[in-house]
Amino acid sequence: MIDDGLTYTEFHSKGMGLILRLKRCITSFDTKFQRLDLYETLDFGKLLTLDNLVMVTEKDEFIYHEMIAHVPLFSHKNPENVLVIGGGDGGTVREVVKHKTVKNVDMVEIDEDVVKISKKYLPTMSCELDNPKVNLYFQDGVKWVEDKENYYDVIIIDSTDPVSIGEGLFTSEFYRNCLKSLKPGGVLANQTESPFHNPEWVEATYKKLKKVFPIVKMFTAYVPTYPAGVWSFGFCSKDVDPIENFQEERYKEYNLKLKYYNNDIHKGAFAVPQFVKELINKSEV
């Protein structure tokens, strides 16, 4: 097909990728850490890319953000103190504050410009960043957890890909510090890339996670604008199983108006295809 208009392209492998028709570019600049571009697409709303990789579109961001937040929060008995690392667009925090038990959210984002742009142009995502329960810190998440001990109930790592500034959030040392920062009964969720397009990243990440956390499970969700359309997330804990400890009563009581996550998805998302199971269990062989 011949494309005659302005388009955004992200290659997911050498020969295939995503194409989005654009209406215009809203802003484009180099932050202190990365390249930031914001576009208005033809039919996916605004699109934010960092280092030329899709981070969010207004149309499908709800899927990723609901899953990375509600799966860990509804697995925890009583989440009060939450840490979000990354997530500068604010989508994760927007979901976290829907939980009545949550009293405090520390959001640690390395790049202040992402928050600034999101506050200015992406209000449906950044809408809770000024919530009094939310404390924003523009710091490196890797350093943040170095001196925390027995402190958070839930940690959510809403990072970029494991390249450049995202790299430190995929290391064993960082995972050890996260485990130390969690209270008993604490859980961690992180974004763990595409098992189809980046099997080597997924394998390496789960190998490291399994060396650190006694319980490590993968859950998935389909995100149309991410590589392969199916995205994976890690669920890690010392002592919480996401299915056995699922707080379904609380889920029902809250009656949140969500668009992707529900109690069936909570359980079903942990069923992963055979090739993925083999990939993440390789470390046990």
Active site residues: 158
91 belongs to the binding site for ligand AG3 (CB under 6 A): yes
Joined tokens for residue 121: 């142009």
Which residues are CB-neighbours of 26 under 8 A, at least 6 positions away?
38, 39, 40, 46, 121
Q: Where are the alpha helices (DSSP H) in the chain?
A: 61-73, 91-96, 112-121, 123-126, 141-144, 172-181, 199-212, 248-254, 263-268, 274-281
Cα(67)–Cα(166) distance, integer angstroms: 20
In angstroms, give the least distance from the CB of 53 to ligand AG3: 4
- Per-residue DSSP letter, 168: G
127 belongs to the binding site for ligand AG3 (CB under 6 A): no
Of 22, 53, 204, 258, which lies in the binding site for ligand AG3, with binding defined by CB under 6 A? 53
Q: Which stretch binds ligand AG3 (CB under 6 A): 50-58, 98-106, 133-141, 277-285?
A: 50-58
Q: Which stretch binds ligand AG3 (CB under 6 A): 54-62, 128-136, 181-189, 258-266?
A: 54-62
Residue with Cβ nearer ligand AG3 (95 or 153) = 95
In angstroms, give the least distance from the CB of 215 to ligand AG3: 23
Which residues are CB-neighbours of 285 under 8 A, at least 6 positions away?
none
Residue type, 47: L
111 belongs to the binding site for ligand AG3 (CB under 6 A): no
106 belongs to the binding site for ligand AG3 (CB under 6 A): no
CB 189 within 8 A of CB 232: no
258 belongs to the binding site for ligand AG3 (CB under 6 A): no
177 belongs to the binding site for ligand AG3 (CB under 6 A): no
Cα(188)–Cα(167) distance, integer angstroms: 18
Provide the b/e sequence for 99-127 (b: ≥16 CB within 10 Å).
bebbeebbbbbbbebbbebbbebbeebbb
Of 152, 213, 226, 246, which lies in the binding site for ligand AG3, with binding defined by CB under 6 A? 226
Closest CA to 94 of 123, 114, 120: 123
CB 131 within 8 A of CB 102: no
205 belongs to the binding site for ligand AG3 (CB under 6 A): no
Of 20, 56, 110, 155, which lies in the binding site for ligand AG3, with binding defined by CB under 6 A? 56
In angstroms, give the least distance from the CB of 4 to ligand AG3: 25
89 belongs to the binding site for ligand AG3 (CB under 6 A): yes
58 belongs to the binding site for ligand AG3 (CB under 6 A): no
272 belongs to the binding site for ligand AG3 (CB under 6 A): no
CB 221 within 8 A of CB 269: yes
87 belongs to the binding site for ligand AG3 (CB under 6 A): yes
In angstroms, give the least distance from the CB of 61 to ligand AG3: 7
In angstroms, give the least distance from the CB of 216 to ligand AG3: 19
How many positions of this chain bind ligand AG3 (CB under 6 A)?
16
Binding footprint of ligand AG3 on the chain (CB under 6 A): 10, 53-56, 64, 87, 89, 91-92, 158, 160-161, 191, 226-227
